[in-house]
Amino acid sequence: MDPTTQHALVVGIEHYREYTPLKSPRRDAARFCRWLEDVAQVPPENIHLVAGEGDGTPTNDDILQAVDSLGPRQGARKGSRLYVYYAGHGLGPNCLEVALLPANAGINRIEYQCFGVGKWLDYFTRTRLFDEVILFLDCCREEQSVETIGLPYKPVQLFQNAIDEQINYFALMGSGHGGKSFEETDRDNERGLMTDALLEGLNGAPGAVDPATGNCITTESLQRYVMARVAENTQFNQKVEPWVMTGTPMTLRTLPAIPELTLTIVVGPQTAGKTLQLLNPKTRNLRVLGPAVANAALPPIVIAANTRHQLMTDDLGWQSILDPSQMSEPYELHLP
């Protein structure tokens, strides 16, 4: 996908007028903007950052003004994909009812000031401004149902026949039904737990790569990585939840092809009769190479040249770590 046709709305809110202040949203929003510009290659003019300065902003009007910049211009389609990133306070039991709180949200007048995610999706579906909408919402989902604000939908002739068309959208929420989205504040490095895992995955962490392709990060593979990564942090009881409406996973990033190494294993008498196994510790991909025959070579196998592998027998009577960086292409390994 041509990155110049992609756009982003990035919102980070820390200081609320009537709610507890947060520590990481502004920094997390800036980090996501850097990923958009440096890695995804989205043009800076297509990235709309909305973050306050500690003065009770951005308000709902500030956010609406940023959204309006994504609206129809002379009846023309805006782009291929829209990223929406939000870090701040949130409410609501399910994705369509999640309420995103601007800085001026009031405890006693919340119904008139919070943005409904479902209403945003309805707006982009009706206007057909983008073919794909991807939302990353690092916010709580405490179980409180509220009436929410929609987006100003002004029908344009070009889009009237597109209202019933299905666009692809994907949402990854930092917390499950009724849950919280936590911040980590160790070493004066405040950051959202979900956003940290999200950026790891988007930056190409091995576990976030789609195993079917070997070098693509998709919405599905990213979802699995972020959910597992956040769950690893047992200090917080946080559950990341996806919400998908798309026929096939969307490709978020294609990594450079990983160099490969051809490995031939020659079996010695001590290993003969045992079944050999090859494990990639990063992806937990285990391959059974079959039974070993003395003084014979197994069929050549191909491994990624940037990842160490563990070669072992089924009874673990022998095992060794293979470091491709120390091997030439092709490489012949002789077992005892």
pLDDT tens sequence across 207-237: 898 888 878 999 999 999 999 999 988 777 7
- How large a percentage of the chain has pLDDT more than 90? 27
**In whole angstroms, what is the distance from residue 33 CA to residue 11 CA?**
10
Tokens of 151: 């987006």
pLDDT over threshold 70, residue 245: no
Structural contact between residues 305 and 269, judged by C-beta atoms closer than 8 angstroms: no
pLDDT digits (tens, 9 = 90+) for 278-329: 888 776 788 888 777 788 888 888 887 778 888 888 888 888 888 887 888 8
pLDDT digits (tens, 9 = 90+) for 193-202: 999 999 999 9
127 contact partners, CB below 8 Å, separation of at least 6? 71, 72, 153, 156, 159, 162
User: 37: buried, middle or exposed (CB in 10 Å: 19+, 13-18, 0-12)?
Assistant: middle
142 contact partners, CB below 8 Å, separation of at least 6? 90, 91, 178, 179, 180
Structural contact between residues 132 and 89, judged by C-beta atoms closer than 8 angstroms: no
State residue 93's pLDDT score.
Answer: 62
pLDDT digits (tens, 9 = 90+) for 160-203: 444 445 678 888 988 877 788 888 876 667 889 999 999 999 99
The HSE-up count of residue 304 (CA atoms within 13 Å, CB side) is 19
Output b/e per residue, 311-333; b: 16+ Cβ within 10 A: bbbeeeeeeeebebeebeeebee
State residue 109's pLDDT score.
Answer: 63
Helix (H, G, I), strand (E, B) or coil at 143: coil
Q: What is the pTM of this model?
A: 0.75
pLDDT over threshold 50, residue 101: yes
**In whole angstroms, what is the distance from residue 153 CA to residue 121 CA?**
12
State residue 239's pLDDT score.
Answer: 83
State residue 8's pLDDT score.
Answer: 96
Averaged pLDDT for residues 9-33? 92
Position 333 confidence tier, pLDDT thresholds 50, 70, 90: confident
| Nearest Cα residue to 107 out of 17, 14, 11 | 17
Identify the DSSP state of 88.
S
pLDDT over threshold 50, residue 206: yes
**In whole angstroms, what is the distance from residue 94 CA to residue 68 CA?**
26
Averaged pLDDT for residues 37-57? 90
State residue 92's pLDDT score.
Answer: 75
**In whole angstroms, what is the distance from residue 306 CA to residue 314 CA?**
25
Structural contact between residues 119 and 113, judged by C-beta atoms closer than 8 angstroms: no
Q: Which is more confident, 110 or 101?
A: 101
Helix (H, G, I), strand (E, B) or coil at 49: strand
| Helices 219-232, 193-202: crossing angle, 10 deg rounding | 140
State residue 27's pLDDT score.
Answer: 93
For the chain, give percent helix, strand, coil, nearest 5.
Answer: 25, 30, 45
State residue 162's pLDDT score.
Answer: 43
pLDDT over threshold 80, residue 145: no
User: 22: buried, middle or exposed (CB in 10 Å: 19+, 13-18, 0-12)?
Assistant: buried
For the chain, the average pLDDT equals: 82
pLDDT over threshold 70, residue 96: no
pLDDT over threshold 90, residue 260: no
State residue 125's pLDDT score.
Answer: 76
